[in-house]
A = this chain, B = another copy of it.
Amino acid sequence: MKIALDAMGGDYAPAQVVAGTVEYVQQGGTAGVVLVGIQDQLQPLVTAAGLEGKVAVVHAPQVIDMHEHPTKALKEKKESSIATGFGLLAREKVDAFASAGNTGAMLVGAMYSLRPVEGVLRPTISTIIPTADGGTALLLDVGLNSDCKPEQLNQFAVMGAVYAQEILGIAQPRVALLNIGEEEGKGNLLAQATYPLLKENSRIQFVGNVEGRDIFMGRADVMVCDGFTGNIILKMAESLFPITQREGIQSPYFNRFNFENYGGTPVLGIQKPVIIGHGISGALAFANMIRLGEQMVHTGTLQKMSAALAS
């Protein structure tokens, strides 16, 4: 198994990408790591880190900056690390691709450089939500689909449930609709139309609506919503850890909101694992991205999602 890593992506690339690779290798990781980036910059780091012979370097002379227009950049910078990574993935030279670089370019690449999965209306991205009972929930969509149709949310529910099973290790994930009331019939037009679809969906264990107050409470393992709502929740949640730090709060619970550690979010509903890391990713995050890619390949998570949606 080979995992490609965009060595030029993120605020602390390439140094922290290499450091994360070292961490992964030292902790016994067995997947082959392919670092994609500017050879002249990478090779000395790889050598200094003692990774010579343990990882592959694929030269990509261009870099897509954080603020470039995604589609335009991918089109014009065909030799960028991101375009090269997707090329490796599409040609099956690697099994997964991760980057903490330009998020938009990663999303565009994920959706257009791989063949679409039959039956998937729209790919989606999710986030981990640390819950106050010590558990971990999944929220999706968190920004890829800012306007959604009920059928899309119904698919997100299935994809989220498979992810929770395969990656979070939750045998029977409880799936909920994020809403603004507890009873069926509550909510905006989208939520009202989505509820019956989820209720009828035999591939998930639907537990009804959850509200904003329930998000951190572990009342559901998978929570579905449109990408506008989900993105605002994600970014609110991301703002909590810096606030606790500034307030001098030491809290095991709020420490779990340090999203730097999570290793990025995979794009769900596509053919192969593509993992999008946070711009501020450090070594631990990069190591975790490699591990997540490995785990997704190993468990066949994306294939199981396709199968669940087709059934």
Of the candidates B228, B240, B253, which one forms a contact with A191 in the assembled complex, judged by CB atoms under 8 Å apart? B228
User: Is there contact, CB below 8 Å, between A216 and B239?
Assistant: yes
A233 contacts across to B, CB distance below 8 A: 212, 232-233, 236
Any chain B CB within 8 A of the CB of A211? yes
For chain A, residues 246 to 301, give those with C-beta under 8 angstroms from any C-beta of chain B.
Answer: 246-247, 249, 251-254
Any chain B CB within 8 A of the CB of A180? yes
Distance in angstroms between the alpha carbons of A143 and B188 in the assembled complex:
10
Distance in angstroms between the alpha carbons of A217 and B231 in the assembled complex:
17
User: Is there contact, CB below 8 Å, between A212 and B228?
Assistant: no
Known: A213-B238, A243-B132. A188 touches B226 (CB 8 A): yes
A212 contacts across to B, CB distance below 8 A: 231-239
Known: A188-B226, A212-B235, A232-B212. A249 touches B249 (CB 8 A): yes
Distance in angstroms between the alpha carbons of A279 and B280 in the assembled complex:
41
User: Is there contact, CB below 8 Å, between B146 and A231?
Assistant: no
Q: Add 16 more A-B contacts to A213-B235, A213-B236 (CB < 8 A).
A: A180-B227, A180-B231, A180-B232, A188-B227, A191-B228, A211-B235, A212-B232, A212-B233, A212-B237, A212-B239, A213-B238, A214-B239, A229-B229, A233-B236, A240-B240, A249-B251
Which A residues have a C-beta under 8 Å from some C-beta of B? 132, 143, 146-147, 178, 180, 187-189, 191, 211-217, 225-229, 231-240, 243-244, 246-247, 249, 251-254
